[in-house]
Homo-oligomer: A and B are copies of this chain.
Amino acid sequence: MSEIITPRTVSGFVELLPGAQLQFERMKKTLERVYESFGFLPFDTPVMEPSEILLAKGGGETDKQIYSVSNANGGSDYAMRFDLTVPLARYVAQHYGELAFPFRRYHIGRVYRGERPQRGRFREFYQADIDVVGDGELDVINDAEMPAIIYKIFTEWGLTRFRIRINNRKLLTGFYEILGLGDKAAEIMRAADKLEKIGADKVRGILVDDAGVPSDKADEILAFMASSSGSADDTLKALESRRGINALYDEGLSELSAVVDGVRAFGVPDENFLIDLTISRGLDYYTGTVYETQLIDYPEIGSPCSGGRYDNLASHYTKQKLPGVGISVGLSRLFWALCDMGLVDTDGRKSGCDVLIMPMVDSPKSAIEAANAMHAAGLKAQLYFEKKKFKAKMNYANRLGVPFVVIIGEDEEAAGEVSLKDMRSGEQQRINAADAAKFVRDTLDGETVPPLIIEK
């Protein structure tokens, strides 16, 4: 007898039990469906990239978190991807001549960061990205599509109380130039981004003490931020008052205005989006429109979906200028947080099956025929052949949480029928297999499936 090795997963790497996995798949399928409906291509790249590709940007905390990979057949110079943007940039640069631009892809995949594991943060996690990448240029109206896609996804998941926050970094940079603080723009943006978290007083402190912004200008910055507390139209109106002073500001404002018009045309209700002048996304990578999202009743989740417009996707790998716009859903973290707060039911269905077929007779023939009938009706039907007592079989059905059970005893077998039981109502009927399949199909088609996320 060989030694037993305690089964365990690597720290910071998670896996789901069946009930949770089914809900996570639902979440992913919604993303796939909505992304595809807007013309994004499914996409996949190797989980490892050559190290020089991953380290091209250089510096930063990310480098230390990179997992490098090797095997006994020889050293290797490659490592695990830490995001889905670098693989996209490398792919588009590498296959430039074979792609049609704008290139639209979605990528739902896992990325790897060797950070210290902590509650709700993982070393292996799913991201779900979309990007529209242009060749040389990309119309700003593409920026308006992103909030429409976020709105559709969140709504289909069952969320209603959320806000998509939109801003424009050209507008911010132009404003700081107007104030004569153009050289401090990046620093000011980083401070302002913390406004919601730490409050106006502390941001003022950082601006004045750390960034060396004159006191009156700090006040003006805070007043500017506060001007976006109303509707998008009110904010745009207030912003219009500064038009004509700085070209970058004007360009940013026109873009923001076009995005708001576009978002409305896509049918996103006013209560689900706003202009938020405080957000800027940390990275210098973003150059125009930026997005964040907020679940109104759960601000502690942070922004489940963020992104923005960039001027040049792949400058490290090609001389082609490839501007684009994209968003990324932090899928694993969001799912974990939603489950942690009890907003996703991971304990109901433990099987995707519509019907469990339980023969109580020796021959499997009638059970297989019942399964064939269910499959022909497009149903998911599992056969349960094990020689167990009826009660044990029903226990199994209950543990799986299947809505219907087909029982075939000697009487049913002799009559060429089955007993069909609705596990929710307890109602049972004797019927032939084809009619049973039709009944299950019609019943399930007539039912409204509760949303994935139940807001409380």
Q: Give A268 to B400 CA distance when docked, in angstroms.
A: 28
- Residue contact A137 to B386, C-beta cutoff 8 Å: yes
A95 and B17 contact, Cβ closer than 8 Å, known pairs A78-B10, A110-B47, A114-B73: yes
Closest to A359 in B: B141
Least CB distance, A16 to chain B, in whole angstroms:
7
**Chain B residues, CB < 8 A from A100:** 350, 396, 399-400
- Residue contact A70 to B71, C-beta cutoff 8 Å: no
Per-residue CB proximity of A52-85 to B under 8 Å, as 1/0?
1100100000011111111111001010100000
**Chain B residues, CB < 8 A from A319:** 4
Judged by a CB distance under 8 angstroms, whether A448 is at the interface is no
Q: Give A321 to B43 CA distance when docked, in angstroms.
A: 40
- Residue contact A44 to B56, C-beta cutoff 8 Å: no
Stoichiometry, copies per complex: 2
Judged by a CB distance under 8 angstroms, whether A185 is at the interface is no
**Chain B residues, CB < 8 A from A53:** 5, 7-8
Least CB distance, A363 to chain B, in whole angstroms:
9
Q: Which of B46, B76, B400 contacts A14 (CB 8 A)?
A: B46
A47 and B45 contact, Cβ closer than 8 Å, known pairs A18-B99, A39-B381, A318-B7: no
- Residue contact A15 to B39, C-beta cutoff 8 Å: no
- Residue contact A386 to B134, C-beta cutoff 8 Å: yes
A72 and B64 contact, Cβ closer than 8 Å, known pairs A49-B9, A265-B365: yes
**Chain B residues, CB < 8 A from A318:** 4, 7
Q: Which of A1-49 contact B (CB under 8 A)?
A: 2, 4-10, 13-18, 21-22, 24-25, 36-39, 41-49
Q: Which of B8, B37, B266, B384 contacts A368 (CB 8 A)?
A: B266
Judged by a CB distance under 8 angstroms, whether A387 is at the interface is yes
**Given A8-B50, A16-B44, A262-B368, 18 additional A-B pairs, CB 8 A:** A4-B318, A7-B94, A9-B46, A10-B50, A14-B46, A17-B99, A38-B380, A38-B382, A39-B351, A39-B381, A41-B352, A46-B124, A64-B72, A66-B72, A70-B70, A145-B383, A265-B364, A265-B365
